[in-house]
Structure 1
Amino acid sequence: MQLDEVDRRILQVLSEDGRASYGAIGAEVNLSAPAVKRRVDRLRERGVITGFTIGVDAAASGWTTEAYVELFCNRRTAGAEILRRAETYPEVVEAFTVTGDADALLHVFAADMQHFERVLSEISAEPFVARTRSVLVLSPLLRRNNLIM
Protein backbone atom coordinates (compact mmCIF):
# COMPACT_ATOMS: atom_id res chain seq x y z
CA MET A 1 0.00 0.00 0.00
CA GLN A 2 1.27 3.43 -0.90
CA LEU A 3 1.10 5.87 1.99
CA ASP A 4 0.56 9.53 1.32
CA GLU A 5 1.88 12.29 3.55
CA VAL A 6 -1.37 12.53 5.55
CA ASP A 7 -1.29 8.77 6.27
CA ARG A 8 2.30 9.10 7.44
CA ARG A 9 1.41 12.00 9.72
CA ILE A 10 -1.55 10.05 11.17
CA LEU A 11 0.77 7.11 11.86
CA GLN A 12 3.27 9.45 13.50
CA VAL A 13 0.64 10.91 15.81
CA LEU A 14 -0.65 7.43 16.73
CA SER A 15 2.89 6.15 17.34
CA GLU A 16 3.42 8.97 19.83
CA ASP A 17 0.00 8.55 21.48
CA GLY A 18 -2.03 5.47 20.59
CA ARG A 19 -4.93 6.85 22.62
CA ALA A 20 -5.19 10.09 20.62
CA SER A 21 -8.77 10.83 19.58
CA TYR A 22 -9.70 11.19 15.93
CA GLY A 23 -10.39 14.86 16.65
CA ALA A 24 -6.94 15.41 18.14
CA ILE A 25 -5.32 13.61 15.22
CA GLY A 26 -7.42 15.65 12.80
CA ALA A 27 -6.19 18.87 14.39
CA GLU A 28 -2.61 17.72 13.80
CA VAL A 29 -3.13 16.65 10.18
CA ASN A 30 -5.79 19.20 9.15
CA LEU A 31 -8.66 16.72 8.64
CA SER A 32 -12.04 16.23 10.27
CA ALA A 33 -12.43 13.47 12.86
CA PRO A 34 -14.60 11.35 10.49
CA ALA A 35 -11.99 11.67 7.73
CA VAL A 36 -9.26 10.55 10.14
CA LYS A 37 -11.40 7.58 11.24
CA ARG A 38 -11.89 6.51 7.60
CA ARG A 39 -8.15 6.69 7.00
CA VAL A 40 -7.31 4.77 10.19
CA ASP A 41 -9.90 2.12 9.29
CA ARG A 42 -8.37 1.81 5.82
CA LEU A 43 -4.85 1.53 7.30
CA ARG A 44 -6.11 -1.22 9.63
CA GLU A 45 -7.92 -3.09 6.83
CA ARG A 46 -4.77 -3.08 4.70
CA GLY A 47 -2.60 -4.32 7.56
CA VAL A 48 -0.49 -1.18 7.93
CA ILE A 49 -1.82 -0.70 11.47
CA THR A 50 -1.77 -4.09 13.16
CA GLY A 51 -3.02 -3.01 16.57
CA PHE A 52 -2.82 -0.50 19.36
CA THR A 53 -0.52 -1.20 22.29
CA ILE A 54 1.01 0.50 25.28
CA GLY A 55 4.68 1.12 25.79
CA VAL A 56 6.21 -0.03 29.06
CA ASP A 57 9.50 1.32 30.33
CA ALA A 58 11.25 -1.78 31.67
CA ALA A 59 13.55 0.23 33.94
CA ALA A 60 10.64 2.17 35.45
CA SER A 61 8.90 -1.13 36.16
CA GLY A 62 11.96 -2.49 37.98
CA TRP A 63 13.82 -4.38 35.25
CA THR A 64 16.96 -2.29 34.95
CA THR A 65 19.33 -4.82 33.38
CA GLU A 66 19.13 -5.17 29.61
CA ALA A 67 21.12 -7.49 27.37
CA TYR A 68 21.29 -9.13 23.98
CA VAL A 69 22.13 -12.82 24.04
CA GLU A 70 23.43 -14.61 20.97
CA LEU A 71 22.53 -18.29 20.79
CA PHE A 72 24.84 -20.79 19.11
CA CYS A 73 22.94 -24.03 18.59
CA ASN A 74 24.26 -27.61 18.79
CA ARG A 75 22.64 -28.65 15.58
CA ARG A 76 20.49 -27.10 12.95
CA THR A 77 17.65 -25.90 15.15
CA ALA A 78 14.48 -24.58 13.56
CA GLY A 79 13.43 -21.05 14.37
CA ALA A 80 10.11 -22.45 15.59
CA GLU A 81 11.92 -24.46 18.29
CA ILE A 82 13.91 -21.42 19.42
CA LEU A 83 10.69 -19.39 19.52
CA ARG A 84 8.82 -22.09 21.45
CA ARG A 85 11.48 -22.11 24.19
CA ALA A 86 12.11 -18.32 24.18
CA GLU A 87 8.42 -17.70 24.82
CA THR A 88 8.69 -19.54 28.14
CA TYR A 89 11.00 -16.83 29.54
CA PRO A 90 9.15 -13.62 30.45
CA GLU A 91 12.54 -11.88 30.48
CA VAL A 92 12.92 -12.45 26.71
CA VAL A 93 11.09 -9.59 25.02
CA GLU A 94 12.26 -10.26 21.45
CA ALA A 95 13.82 -13.19 19.62
CA PHE A 96 15.30 -13.24 16.13
CA THR A 97 17.01 -15.68 13.81
CA VAL A 98 20.05 -13.89 12.43
CA THR A 99 22.85 -14.06 9.89
CA GLY A 100 26.45 -14.43 10.98
CA ASP A 101 27.99 -16.87 13.45
CA ALA A 102 25.08 -17.00 15.88
CA ASP A 103 21.84 -18.81 15.11
CA ALA A 104 19.55 -16.51 17.07
CA LEU A 105 19.53 -13.30 19.08
CA LEU A 106 17.46 -12.75 22.22
CA HIS A 107 16.65 -9.37 23.76
CA VAL A 108 16.48 -9.85 27.53
CA PHE A 109 15.43 -7.67 30.46
CA ALA A 110 16.08 -8.58 34.11
CA ALA A 111 15.70 -6.94 37.50
CA ASP A 112 19.43 -7.00 38.25
CA MET A 113 22.64 -8.86 37.41
CA GLN A 114 21.77 -11.85 39.60
CA HIS A 115 18.43 -12.21 37.84
CA PHE A 116 20.11 -11.89 34.44
CA GLU A 117 22.74 -14.48 35.42
CA ARG A 118 20.00 -16.93 36.45
CA VAL A 119 18.07 -16.43 33.21
CA LEU A 120 21.25 -16.73 31.13
CA SER A 121 22.11 -19.97 32.92
CA GLU A 122 18.63 -21.36 32.20
CA ILE A 123 18.78 -20.36 28.54
CA SER A 124 22.28 -21.86 28.22
CA ALA A 125 20.95 -25.14 29.61
CA GLU A 126 18.38 -25.51 26.82
CA PRO A 127 19.15 -28.80 24.99
CA PHE A 128 19.80 -27.15 21.63
CA VAL A 129 22.13 -24.41 22.93
CA ALA A 130 25.84 -25.08 22.50
CA ARG A 131 26.93 -21.71 23.89
CA THR A 132 25.86 -18.13 24.32
CA ARG A 133 27.49 -14.74 24.02
CA SER A 134 25.99 -11.77 25.85
CA VAL A 135 26.22 -8.04 25.43
CA LEU A 136 24.93 -5.89 28.29
CA VAL A 137 23.34 -2.55 27.44
CA LEU A 138 24.96 0.33 29.32
CA SER A 139 22.72 3.15 28.08
CA PRO A 140 20.01 2.95 25.44
CA LEU A 141 20.61 5.82 23.03
CA LEU A 142 17.67 5.51 20.65
CA ARG A 143 14.49 3.40 20.66
CA ARG A 144 11.91 3.63 17.94
CA ASN A 145 8.71 1.71 18.39
CA ASN A 146 7.35 2.23 14.91
CA LEU A 147 8.86 2.56 11.49
CA ILE A 148 7.00 5.14 9.46
CA MET A 149 8.18 5.55 5.92
Structure 2
Amino acid sequence: MDNLDRGIIDLLRQNARASYGDIGGVVGLSASAVKRRVDRLVGDGVIRGFTIQVDPTVDGYNTEAYVELFCRGTVAPDELLRILSGVPEVVDAGTVTGSADAIVHMRARSIPALEDALEKVRIAPNVDHTRSAIVLSRLIHRTHD
Protein backbone atom coordinates (compact mmCIF):
# COMPACT_ATOMS: atom_id res chain seq x y z
CA MET A 1 0.00 0.00 0.00
CA ASP A 2 1.42 3.38 -0.96
CA ASN A 3 0.49 7.02 -0.30
CA LEU A 4 -1.94 7.07 -3.24
CA ASP A 5 -3.81 4.10 -1.74
CA ARG A 6 -3.89 5.85 1.64
CA GLY A 7 -5.24 9.00 -0.01
CA ILE A 8 -7.96 7.01 -1.77
CA ILE A 9 -8.92 5.29 1.48
CA ASP A 10 -9.05 8.64 3.32
CA LEU A 11 -11.37 10.06 0.67
CA LEU A 12 -13.60 6.97 0.75
CA ARG A 13 -13.80 7.26 4.56
CA GLN A 14 -15.12 10.80 4.12
CA ASN A 15 -17.57 9.80 1.40
CA ALA A 16 -17.87 6.18 0.28
CA ARG A 17 -20.11 7.36 -2.57
CA ALA A 18 -17.48 9.63 -4.12
CA SER A 19 -16.95 8.92 -7.81
CA TYR A 20 -13.67 7.51 -9.04
CA GLY A 21 -13.28 10.67 -11.12
CA ASP A 22 -13.70 12.92 -8.09
CA ILE A 23 -11.22 10.84 -6.08
CA GLY A 24 -8.79 10.81 -9.00
CA GLY A 25 -9.01 14.59 -9.25
CA VAL A 26 -7.81 14.90 -5.65
CA VAL A 27 -5.08 12.22 -5.71
CA GLY A 28 -3.90 12.89 -9.28
CA LEU A 29 -5.04 9.71 -11.04
CA SER A 30 -7.53 8.88 -13.77
CA ALA A 31 -10.90 7.44 -12.80
CA SER A 32 -9.91 4.04 -14.26
CA ALA A 33 -6.64 4.02 -12.25
CA VAL A 34 -8.58 4.78 -9.06
CA LYS A 35 -11.05 1.97 -9.87
CA ARG A 36 -8.19 -0.51 -10.39
CA ARG A 37 -6.64 0.51 -7.06
CA VAL A 38 -9.98 0.28 -5.20
CA ASP A 39 -10.64 -3.15 -6.76
CA ARG A 40 -7.17 -4.30 -5.63
CA LEU A 41 -7.70 -2.90 -2.12
CA VAL A 42 -11.01 -4.76 -1.91
CA GLY A 43 -9.48 -7.94 -3.32
CA ASP A 44 -6.60 -7.77 -0.83
CA GLY A 45 -9.01 -7.31 2.08
CA VAL A 46 -7.73 -3.83 2.92
CA ILE A 47 -11.19 -2.40 2.20
CA ARG A 48 -13.64 -4.78 3.84
CA GLY A 49 -16.84 -3.21 2.58
CA PHE A 50 -18.81 -0.09 1.86
CA THR A 51 -21.59 0.90 4.21
CA ILE A 52 -23.73 3.70 5.53
CA GLN A 53 -23.90 4.97 9.08
CA VAL A 54 -27.37 5.81 10.33
CA ASP A 55 -27.95 7.92 13.42
CA PRO A 56 -29.23 5.40 16.02
CA THR A 57 -31.79 7.90 17.27
CA VAL A 58 -33.60 7.54 13.93
CA ASP A 59 -34.49 4.00 15.03
CA GLY A 60 -35.41 5.19 18.52
CA TYR A 61 -32.19 4.16 20.29
CA ASN A 62 -31.98 7.37 22.34
CA THR A 63 -30.60 5.89 25.58
CA GLU A 64 -26.89 5.21 25.64
CA ALA A 65 -24.63 3.90 28.40
CA TYR A 66 -21.09 2.76 29.03
CA VAL A 67 -20.93 -0.19 31.37
CA GLU A 68 -17.97 -1.60 33.25
CA LEU A 69 -18.27 -5.36 33.59
CA PHE A 70 -16.71 -7.15 36.57
CA CYS A 71 -16.42 -10.94 36.54
CA ARG A 72 -15.89 -13.62 39.17
CA GLY A 73 -12.40 -15.05 38.80
CA THR A 74 -10.76 -15.23 35.40
CA VAL A 75 -13.09 -15.23 32.43
CA ALA A 76 -11.78 -15.80 28.91
CA PRO A 77 -12.57 -13.19 26.24
CA ASP A 78 -14.45 -15.88 24.28
CA GLU A 79 -16.81 -16.36 27.24
CA LEU A 80 -17.40 -12.60 27.49
CA LEU A 81 -18.09 -12.54 23.75
CA ARG A 82 -20.64 -15.34 24.18
CA ILE A 83 -22.37 -13.50 27.03
CA LEU A 84 -22.47 -10.12 25.29
CA SER A 85 -23.38 -11.41 21.82
CA GLY A 86 -26.75 -12.50 23.18
CA VAL A 87 -27.69 -8.93 24.15
CA PRO A 88 -28.66 -6.90 21.06
CA GLU A 89 -28.37 -3.60 22.93
CA VAL A 90 -24.59 -4.14 23.14
CA VAL A 91 -23.13 -2.15 20.26
CA ASP A 92 -19.45 -2.32 21.20
CA ALA A 93 -17.36 -4.07 23.83
CA GLY A 94 -13.79 -4.80 24.68
CA THR A 95 -11.65 -6.30 27.40
CA VAL A 96 -9.67 -3.69 29.32
CA THR A 97 -6.90 -3.23 31.82
CA GLY A 98 -7.72 -2.04 35.33
CA SER A 99 -10.26 -3.31 37.81
CA ALA A 100 -13.04 -3.96 35.27
CA ASP A 101 -12.82 -6.96 32.97
CA ALA A 102 -14.60 -5.29 30.06
CA ILE A 103 -16.17 -2.03 28.91
CA VAL A 104 -19.50 -2.34 27.14
CA HIS A 105 -21.25 0.33 25.07
CA MET A 106 -25.03 -0.14 25.03
CA ARG A 107 -27.90 1.58 23.23
CA ALA A 108 -31.56 1.09 24.07
CA ARG A 109 -34.90 2.72 23.29
CA SER A 110 -35.53 3.75 26.90
CA ILE A 111 -34.24 3.51 30.46
CA PRO A 112 -36.45 0.46 31.17
CA ALA A 113 -35.12 -1.23 28.01
CA LEU A 114 -31.56 -0.42 29.08
CA GLU A 115 -32.28 -1.85 32.52
CA ASP A 116 -33.61 -5.07 30.94
CA ALA A 117 -30.48 -5.36 28.79
CA LEU A 118 -28.23 -4.78 31.80
CA GLU A 119 -30.08 -7.50 33.69
CA LYS A 120 -29.39 -9.95 30.85
CA VAL A 121 -25.68 -9.24 31.30
CA ARG A 122 -25.79 -9.31 35.11
CA ILE A 123 -27.43 -12.76 35.34
CA ALA A 124 -24.67 -14.46 33.33
CA PRO A 125 -22.96 -17.01 35.61
CA ASN A 126 -19.51 -15.42 35.50
CA VAL A 127 -20.62 -11.81 35.97
CA ASP A 128 -20.18 -10.43 39.48
CA HIS A 129 -21.48 -6.88 38.96
CA THR A 130 -21.61 -3.93 36.59
CA ARG A 131 -21.11 -0.19 36.94
CA SER A 132 -22.99 2.00 34.46
CA ALA A 133 -22.71 5.56 33.23
CA ILE A 134 -25.60 6.86 31.14
CA VAL A 135 -24.62 9.30 28.40
CA LEU A 136 -26.29 12.69 28.81
CA SER A 137 -24.93 14.33 25.66
CA ARG A 138 -22.49 13.15 23.02
CA LEU A 139 -19.64 15.59 22.56
CA ILE A 140 -17.42 13.93 19.96
CA HIS A 141 -18.06 10.92 17.76
CA ARG A 142 -15.39 9.74 15.35
CA THR A 143 -15.14 6.53 13.39
CA HIS A 144 -11.81 5.03 12.49
CA ASP A 145 -12.94 2.00 10.52
Q: What TM-score comes out, normalization by structure 1 length?
A: 0.87
Deviation for aligned residue 1:134: 0.8
- Rounded to whole Å, the distance in 2 between the matches of 1:47 and 1:143 is 26
Q: CA separation in 1, counterparts of 2:60 and 2:25?
A: 37
Distance in 1 (alpha carbons) for counterparts of 2:98 and 2:44: 34
User: 5+ residue gaps in structure 1?
Assistant: none
Q: Deviations over 1:121-146 (max 9, x none)?
A: 12111111000011111221222222
Equivalent position amino acid for 1:104 in 2 = A
Computed over aligned residues only, the root mean square deviation of the Cα atoms, in angstroms, reads 1.7
What is the letter of the counterpart of residue 133 of structure 2? V
Equivalent residues in 2 for 1:1-149, closer than 5 Å:
1=1, 3-4=2-3, 6-146=4-144
> What amino acid maps onto 1:144 in structure 2?
R
Gap runs ≥5 in structure 2: none
Alpha-carbon separation, structure 2, partners of 1:143 and 1:40: 27
Q: Give, as a single letter, the amino acid of the residue that structure 2 aligns with 1:7.
A: D
Deviations 1:101-132 (A, max 9, x none): 11111110000111111111121111110000
- With normalisation by structure 2, the TM-score equals 0.89
Q: Is the 8 A contact 2:87 2:120 kept in 1?
A: no
CA contact (8 A) 2:61 2:108 kept: yes
In percent, how many aligned pairs have the same letter?
51
Q: Residues 73-114 of structure 1: CA distance to partner in whole angstroms, max 9, x if unpaired? A: 012111011111211111101110111111111110000111
Q: What's the secondary structure of 1:53's corresponding residue?
A: coil
Paired residues, what number?
A: 145
